Structure 1
């Protein structure tokens, strides 16, 4: 292995390991901001039920 390949492998490892950590921090920060505004619960996948107009 050349030094260049080792450098790229280390860089890929660092990026791969840091992406989930950054995602968790962004989610916590967003939740924190909403809580400060008074919104106690935030669910990204929450879908509001819309009544069916055909009923």
Structure 2
């Protein structure tokens, strides 16, 4: 469980840094970042959650 929490926390930090870079240096608007985050949330709560989790696990090399 602790390892899963570490992966979740590091993924969250990486996502926040990525959004910060996009907003600050690329010119992404904050509203677009919020909409993208909401879309990610709704996808995670949908029927596609197992597929997304499997894809992320494979991309993580686990």
Band the TM-score falls in, shorter-chain normalisation:
0.3 to 0.5
- Kindly name which structure, 1 or 2, has the bigger radius of gyration based on alpha carbons: 1
Greater share of residues in helix: 2
Greater relative contact order, per chain length (Cα 8 Å cut-off, separation 6+): 1
Compute the TM-score of the two structures, normalised by the length of structure 2: 0.43
TM-score, structure 1 normalization: 0.47
